[in-house]
Amino acid sequence: MDTKLQHKELFKLWIQRKGNHSNINSELAASHNLLSLYTMEATTLLLLSAVIIAAFLFLSSRHPKKMRLIKLTEKLPGPTAYPIVGTALPFMLVPRHERLKLLEDHMKTYQQIYRIQIGSVLAVNVWQPEHAEALLSSMKNLDKSFTYKFLHSWLGTGLLTSTGQKWHTHRKMITPSFHFKILEDYVEVFSEKSKILISKLQKEVESRGFNVYPYITRCALDIICETTMGTPVHAQEDLESTYVSAVYDVSELTVQRIVHPWLHPGFLFKLSPCGRRYNKCMRLLHDFTDKVWNGTAYYCGKISEIKRTFTGKKKRVAFLDMLLDASEGGAMLTDEELREEVDTFMFEGHDTTSAGMCWALYLLGLHPDVQEKAYQEQESIFQGSNRSVTMRDLSEMKYLERVIKESLRLYPSVPGVGRTLNEDVKMGEFTIPAGCMVHLHIYFLHRNPTHFPNPEKFNPDNFLPERVAKRHPYAYIPFSAGPRNCIGQKFAMLEEKTVLSYMLRHYRFQSLDRRENMKVVAELVLRPENGIRITITPRVTGTK
Ligand code: HEM
């Protein structure tokens, strides 16, 4: 094509384009008009919504109950509350492991009690034994604080999160599953799983330092699934447990949600990156519990099948069996309710004990003198024998019990609990009104120098009977207290003793991180952010 022709074609094209452009321009102008119309409407809508929200907030703040709550809590000391964030801002800005330090600063500043505000929600933080008693011994104040609602998509309203008649009925139904006689059967499983743990750790003997946390967690998961659910999951064979890492993530995300008030409404949380991560975890967690759930053969409708154990040995009554029986007989529990309890016990029953055992190992690994004493006690009970642990042996482990109690004092697996008051509670000179949330910080309660002189020192003798007898009954409550205390308390102590007994008899261990360097995160469970690094050396045992 010659160049003149080329220019002509190009000119035509240009004219065409220009025409199109003018069309586009006129379209643009029209859409611009439409846009300004929309913008005006959107602005009006936004303004209208803002007025409605402001009116709602104003009217609800004028509600007599809310007015009373504000009036009474106004008298309490506390940090300055800002619009939207309340007093939560510093907690949003620091890394996870520094939140505990912020709480400690508040505790030192306000001495006894203080008021906080998360978004528009008022709460009171306490950590004195007298306040703990006033809160926990009440038969009326049994409702959990609103923060537990953030666990509903995971645990539903199982025993930990339910209230009212549902909680009462389920508590009554589940309590017999933790009877002494049934726990006695469980000890066999504790021993079985501890033996696997010891053999799995063998490969770390040469290691110059490793994180013991995942080993202990998987052992605890094996224990809870086989005892309460009656289903073996062989978690100790699976090095990468997606269930365990999803539990950690959910724990972190729940606290993120609590401290960011705009993540409180469900629909906003779902849209946020935090919420999307949370939903992914939910699928993993529920998939895992589905497997456990299906393992009970419930869906086959053959309750009797559950009555035999999977190992073919004599029957052990799992708590799930009891619930299923109760449901069958009295049609009391729906499928949904049973699922909620499976999720609740799987979580509460393994995450808390893993943390407890790991902190105990950590402290024993820092204090060789205490470790040696605990080992000598084991030797005096087993005298070198490698036989399984019995209930009687466990009752003789008095010193180990003191070690565990002291570890739970310094590092309580559940660092705090919360309630929403149904009736006023008097705390010192203040009346905390019905409707108010109260957080009890067990972590700080256990560090009260009046009840534990030199509170940061690891000293198992704090639990010598004569010292315990002189102490305020609410000065040490790792399992909470009153009607909503931990249903698995005895189970937990027996499990911890068994696993630690095996650890002590088979290995000498040393902790590699000093206490001042540990990054402690106080979320649903009190965890070391980077695990527990130890070295292990085999002991000569089990020769008889
Ligand atoms: C060292 C181990 C444990 C510690 C420190 C611990 C601590 C606690 C605490 C402080 C509470 C009260 C929670 C609250 O009010 O929000 C609680 C409740 C609960 N715990 Fe534990 N727990 C441990 C082990 C277990 C085990 C092994 C199980 C199950 C086998 C279990 C099941 C539960 C349940 C179901 C509740 C709710 C009880 C209710 O509200 O009626 N816990 N636990």
For 240-277, the three-class secondary structure string (H helix, E strand, C coil) is CCHHHHHHHHHHHHHHHHHHCHHHCCHHHHHHCHHHHH
Percent of the chain with pLDDT strictly greater than 90: 66
Q: Are 516 and 171 in contact (CB under 8 A)?
A: no
Percent of the chain with pLDDT strictly greater than 70: 82
Distance 485 CA to ligand 1 centre (A): 7
Whether the per-residue pLDDT at 313 is higher than 70: the answer is: no
182 in the same domain as 37: no
Report the atom number in ligand 1 closest to the C-alpha of 419: 15
Mean pLDDT, residues 185-195: 95
Report the atom number in ligand 1 closest to the C-alpha of 491: 27
Whether the per-residue pLDDT at 239 is higher than 70: the answer is: no
387 in the same domain as 269: yes
The answer to whether the annotation marks 486 as part of a ligand binding site is: yes
What does pLDDT average to over the chain?
A: 86
How far apart (Å, rounded) are the C-alpha atoms in residues 85 and 262?
8
Report the atom number in ligand 1 closest to the C-alpha of 158: 35
From 137, 227, 229, 348, mutation site for ligand 1 pocket: most ligand atoms within 8 A of C-beta:
348
At residue 301, φ and ψ (nearest 5 deg) are 70, 20
57 in the same domain as 150: no
- pLDDT tens across 404-436, in order? 999 999 999 999 999 999 999 999 999 999 999
In CATH, what number is assigned to the domain containing residue 394? 1.10.630.10
How far apart (Å, rounded) are the C-alpha atoms in residues 374 and 368?
10
- The pair of structure tokens assigned to 526 is 């009190």
Residues in contact with 45: Cβ distance below 8 Å, sequence separation at least 6, in sequence order: none
Nearest CA owner, ligand 1 atom 42: 488
Distance 220 CA to ligand 1 centre (A): 15
At residue 27, φ and ψ (nearest 5 deg) are -60, -40
**Residue whose pair of structure tokens reads 């305020």 in the numeric block:** 472
How far apart (Å, rounded) are the C-alpha atoms in residues 83 and 300?
55
Distance 476 CA to ligand 1 centre (A): 15
Report the atom number in ligand 1 closest to the C-alpha of 171: 41
Query: Does any domain span residue 120?
Result: no
Whether the per-residue pLDDT at 72 is higher than 90: the answer is: no
Is residue 206 classed as helix, strand or coil in its secondary structure?
Answer: coil
Angle between helices 489-506 and 398-410 (to 10 degrees): 110
Query: Does any domain span residue 91?
Result: no
- The pair of structure tokens assigned to 271 is 């849209």
Distance 328 CA to ligand 1 centre (A): 26
- pLDDT tens across 111-128, in order? 899 999 988 889 999 999
Whether the per-residue pLDDT at 222 is higher than 80: the answer is: yes
Query: Does any domain span residue 292?
Result: yes
List the 121-126 sheet strands across, edge first: 113-118, 121-126, 437-441, 416-420
Q: With bands split at pLDDT 50, 70 and 90, how would you rate the model's confidence at 177?
A: confident
Burial grade of 325 (CB within 10 A; 0-12, 13-18, 19 or more): middle
Q: Are 217 and 540 in contact (CB under 8 A)?
A: no
Q: Are 462 and 406 in contact (CB under 8 A)?
A: yes
From 141, 227, 338, 352, mutation site for ligand 1 pocket: most ligand atoms within 8 A of C-beta:
352
How far apart (Å, rounded) are the C-alpha atoms in residues 278 and 300?
32
Domain count, the chain: 2
Per-residue pLDDT, 97: 93
Residues in contact with 345: Cβ distance below 8 Å, sequence separation at least 6, in sequence order: 158, 159, 224, 228, 229, 319, 488
Identify the weakest region by mean pLDDT among 124-138, 286-300, 442-456. 286-300
How far apart (Å, rounded) are the C-alpha atoms in residues 326 and 330?
6
Range of the domain at 152: 146-538
Whether the per-residue pLDDT at 526 is higher than 60: the answer is: yes
460 in the same domain as 348: yes
Query: Does any domain span residue 449?
Result: yes
Distance 419 CA to ligand 1 centre (A): 15
Query: Does any domain span residue 469?
Result: yes
At residue 520, φ and ψ (nearest 5 deg) are -100, 125
Per-residue pLDDT, 45: 62
Identify the weakest region by mean pLDDT among 298-302, 387-391, 423-427, 503-507. 298-302
Q: With bands split at pLDDT 50, 70 and 90, how would you rate the model's confidence at 480?
A: very high
Distance 354 CA to ligand 1 centre (A): 13
Per-residue pLDDT, 65: 72
Query: Does any domain span residue 127?
Result: no
pTM: 0.86
Per-residue pLDDT, 125: 97
Q: Are 377 and 400 in contact (CB under 8 A)?
A: yes
- pLDDT tens across 369-397, in order? 999 999 999 999 999 898 999 999 999 99
Per-residue pLDDT, 479: 98
For residue 498, the one-letter residue type is T
Is residue 527 classed as helix, strand or coil in its secondary structure?
Answer: strand
Nearest CA owner, ligand 1 atom 13: 417
Per-residue pLDDT, 510: 98
Structure-model confidence comparison of residues 205 and 322, the more confident one: 205
How far apart (Å, rounded) are the C-alpha atoms in residues 134 and 149?
24
**Residue whose pair of structure tokens reads 């019995």 in the numeric block:** 390
- The pair of structure tokens assigned to 378 is 């084991």
Per-residue pLDDT, 330: 58
Distance of CA 512 to the CA centre of its chain: 26
Report the atom number in ligand 1 closest to the C-alpha of 442: 10
For residue 164, CA distances in Å to 143, 209, 370, 463 come to 8, 48, 45, 35
Per-residue pLDDT, 179: 87
205 in the same domain as 345: yes
- pLDDT tens across 20-57, in order? 444 444 444 444 554 455 556 656 666 765 565 555 55
Q: Are 424 and 433 in contact (CB under 8 A)?
A: yes
Per-residue pLDDT, 304: 39
- Asked if the interface predicted TM-score (ipTM) of this complex is over 0.95, the answer is yes
Whether the per-residue pLDDT at 453 is higher than 90: the answer is: yes
Per-residue pLDDT, 365: 98
How far apart (Å, rounded) are the C-alpha atoms in residues 311 and 315?
9
β-partners of residue 430 are 427
Per-residue pLDDT, 36: 55
Q: With bands split at pLDDT 50, 70 and 90, how would you rate the model's confidence at 291?
A: confident
Structure-model confidence comparison of residues 130 and 55, the more confident one: 130
Distance 412 CA to ligand 1 centre (A): 11
Distance of CA 176 to the CA centre of its chain: 24
Per-residue pLDDT, 404: 98
How far apart (Å, rounded) are the C-alpha atoms in residues 129 and 57?
36
Report the atom number in ligand 1 closest to the C-alpha of 478: 5
The count of other CB atoms within 10 Å of the CB of residue 123 is 23
At residue 538, φ and ψ (nearest 5 deg) are -65, 145
Listed as own residue / partner, the contacts of 304-310 with beta carbons closer than 8 Å and 24 or more positions apart are: 306/230, 309/230, 310/226, 310/230, 310/231, 310/232
- pLDDT tens across 325-353, in order? 766 555 577 888 888 999 999 999 999 99
Q: Using CA atoms in the order 76, 80, 86, 89, what is the torsion angle rounded to 10 degrees? A: -130
Is residue 296 classed as helix, strand or coil in its secondary structure?
Answer: coil
Nearest CA owner, ligand 1 atom 23: 352
Query: Does any domain span residue 515?
Result: yes
Distance 155 CA to ligand 1 centre (A): 14
Per-residue pLDDT, 396: 98
Per-residue pLDDT, 301: 40
From 486, 490, 500, mutation site for ligand 1 pocket: most ligand atoms within 8 A of C-beta:
486
The count of other CB atoms within 10 Å of the CB of residue 245 is 14
Distance 345 CA to ligand 1 centre (A): 9
Mean pLDDT, residues 451-466: 97
53 in the same domain as 177: no
Query: Does any domain span residue 126?
Result: no
For ligand 1, residues with CB inside 6 Å are: 159-160, 171, 228, 344-345, 348-349, 352-353, 356, 408, 413-414, 417, 478-480, 484, 486-488, 491-492
Report the atom number in ligand 1 closest to the C-alpha of 148: 16
Q: Are 529 and 521 in contact (CB under 8 A)?
A: yes
